[in-house]
Amino acid sequence: MILNTHAIIFMGLALLMVIAALLAVTTRNIMRATVYLLFVLFGTAGLYFILHYTFLGAVQVTVYAGGIIVLFVFAALLIGKGARDLTHTSILRYTAGFTAAATGLALTTYLIFTHQFPDVKPLTSVVPINLIGHTLMGSDKYNYVLPFEAVSVLLLACMIGALLIARKR
Partner 1 sequence: MYDFSIITTAIDQFLRSLMPSGLAIFIECVLVGACVLVAYIVLAIIMIFMERKVCAAFQCRLGPMRVGFWGTLQVFSDVFKMIIKEIIDLKRTDNMLYNLAPFLVVLSSVLTFSCLPFAKGMEVLDFNVGLFFLMATSSFGVLGIMLAGWSSNNKYSMIGAMRSGAQMVSYELSIGISMLTLVVLSGTLQLSEIVSRQSDAWFIVKGHIPAFIAFVIYLIAGNAETNRGPFDLPEAESELTAGYHTEYSGMGFGFFYVAEFMNLFIVSGIASTIFLGGWMPLHILGLDGFNAAMDYIPGVVWFLGKTFFVIWLLMWIRWTFPRLRIDQVITLEWKYLVPIGIVNLLIMTLCVVMGWTL
Q: Which is nearer to partner 1, 27 or 143 (CB)?
A: 27
Give the whole-angstrom CA distance, residue 7 versus residue 37: 23
The reply to whether 5 sits near partner 1 by the rule CB under 8 A is: yes
Using CB under 8 A, pick the residue from 15, 25, 59, 102 that binds partner 1. Answer: 59
The reply to whether 69 sits near partner 1 by the rule CB under 8 A is: yes
Contact at 8 Å (CB) between 13 and 42? no
Q: Which is nearer to partner 1, 54 or 143 (CB)?
A: 54
Binding part of the chain for partner 1, among 13-21, 63-71, 88-96, 106-114 by CB under 8 A, reads 63-71
CB of 112 to partner 1, least distance (A): 29
Using CB under 8 A, pick the residue from 13, 20, 37, 38 that binds partner 1. Answer: 38
Amino acid (one-letter) located at 144: Y
Give the whole-angstrom CA distance, residue 38 versus residue 67: 11
Give the whole-angstrom CA distance, residue 158 versus residue 169: 18
Using CB under 8 A, pick the residue from 2, 112, 120, 146 that binds partner 1. Answer: 2
Radius of gyration of the chain (CA): 20
Among residues 142, 149, 123, 139, the alpha carbon closest in space to that of 57 is found at 123
Q: Which of residues 107-126 bind partner 1 (CB under 8 A)?
A: 126
